[in-house]
Structure 1
Amino acid sequence: MMRAREKILHAAERLFAERGLGVSLREIAAAAGQRNNSAVQYHFGGRAGLVEALYEFRMTPLNLRRRELIAELRASGRETDLAALVECFVGPLSEHVLAHGGETWYLRFSSRYVLSGGYRHWPFSSEHHSGVNELVPLLHARVPGLTEERLRVMFLHTVMVLADLEQRSGAPGFGRADAEAAAADLRTTAAALLTAG
């Protein structure tokens, strides 16, 4: 049985994804089935605490997977393999989308949050992105002259494409094979963005 805190996180993720970060905390509490209008403040201290908790809720397993992929890459001596480096970033996020078939809203929430200006230095400024912070020096070593702006464009491209894929997943006429093909194409375009001259 899902606890109140987790119900609030799921409701917030969906409502933020659907309507943006201006959704009232009272609406989030109601959508989570909480009779107490102050439930969000009780569990998270307010909007900022809720957003941080939502990132922690989703990013903890994604970060573990990303760091696992980086460790495998290092162990196999593939630190200069661009496709493998891209997989370290794209892989955990696309695996999340494919595993849940549109039943979570994390990438749609992330796309809204990033475009709202919530993370001015995204994705370099948060402890939730330690796997990304470990990956970035490897990308710089592999792609000489790679700028922070180009990295940001690749990261934004990945999040926006996966938000769209999350939206389409489970829709009539869009099956698992379509989702896997879209995720594979994303890996190709992400690598191309990094090396485009």
Structure 2
Amino acid sequence: MERLDTKALLLRSAELLFVERGIDSVSLREINRHAGQRNASSLHYHFSSRTNLLEALVDWRMPPLDKRRLELVEICRLGPAEEKLRKLAEAIAMPLIETMTISNPPNNWVRLQARIYQLDSFKFGAYFHSRGYDKGLLEVRKVQQELAPEISQLIRDQRLMFTTRLVVNSLADWQRGVLPLQSGVGVDDLQVFAGNLIDCTQAIIGAESVPFKLPDSTI
């Protein structure tokens, strides 16, 4: 049986409690207790603050995910031209989808990332970039430009943001088991759900850019 050190136990407890109850709703003392630490200052010793703890969780989960995305982008680049758009959509979504298949112990990264998106006080994007965890997404961005040079960089970047958030939040809702209650749509089969999510990702990044104007305000 795997023997975990104190830091790993604290990280797993923090991830589990944060995804279940919300990042701001869990005290550091509760995490310490959940991890079975008798020393009340154990978490403070290892991480010193909630922000440092969140950064450590990102450092724990992101490197393998970014590495996998880089692998999938390379597969996209080496594949036939007619498959590039689909393979690019897979490079965006599959690293996140694959975390859903890890069960012993479970990987709760997508749920945690969805929680982080809701947290105004944590500068996730800046930290993500400073640690180099966006290498895979930067390579995705390059392939986007190759596939659709006629679309402005701003629109391509927004589409990458849209699709990443769509995948994270959709998978987090699936993992929470709330979609049947909230939508009444059958989502039991993860394979069907994930395939459909990749279809949607492909449709967004491959869509034509059509000029749009908001209606004049009537106020």
Which residue matches 1:140?
A: 145
Residues 147 and 110 of structure 1: is their aligned pair in 2 closer, same or farther, counting only changes over 3 Å?
Answer: same
**Identity of matched residues, %:** 32
The equivalent position to 1:17 in structure 2, one of 16, 19, 22, is 19
Greater mean alpha carbon deviation, residues 124-133 or residues 86-95 = 124-133
Query: What is the root-mean-square deviation of aligned Cα atoms in Å?
Result: 2.8
Aligned residues: 192
Whether the aligned pair in 1 keeps the contact of 2:116 and 2:124 (CA below 8 Å) is no
Deviation readout 1:107-143 (Å, 9 max, x if unpaired): 1111010121334647973422221122222123323
Q: Give the superposition deviation at 1:97.
A: 0.7
Task: Report the alpha carbon displacement of residue 72 of structure 1 after superposing the two structures with TM.
Answer: 2.4
Q: Give the equivalent residue in structure 1 for 2:213.
A: none
State the secondary structure of the residue aligned to 1:34: coil
Q: Which residue of 1 aligns with 2:87?
A: 84
In structure 1, stretches of 5+ residues that fail to align are 170-175
**What TM-score comes out, normalization by structure 2 length?**
0.77
| 5+ residue gaps, structure 2 | 179-186, 210-219
Which residue does 2:129 correspond to in 1?
Answer: 125
Out of 40, 47, 53, the residue aligned to residue 50 of structure 1 is: 53
Counterpart of 1:156 (choices 165, 174, 195) is 165
Between structure 1 and structure 2, the one with the greater Rg is: 2
Cα distance change of structure 1 residues 132 and 61 upon mapping to structure 2, 3 Å threshold: same
Q: Which amino acid aligns with 2:9?
A: K
SS of 1:104's equivalent? coil
**Structure 1 residue 9, shift from structure 2 partner:** 0.8
Find the residue that maps to 2:172 and give its secondary structure.
helix
TM-score (norm. length: structure 1): 0.84
- 1:97 paired with 2:100, answer yes
Which residue, out of 168, 191, 198, partners 1:187? 198
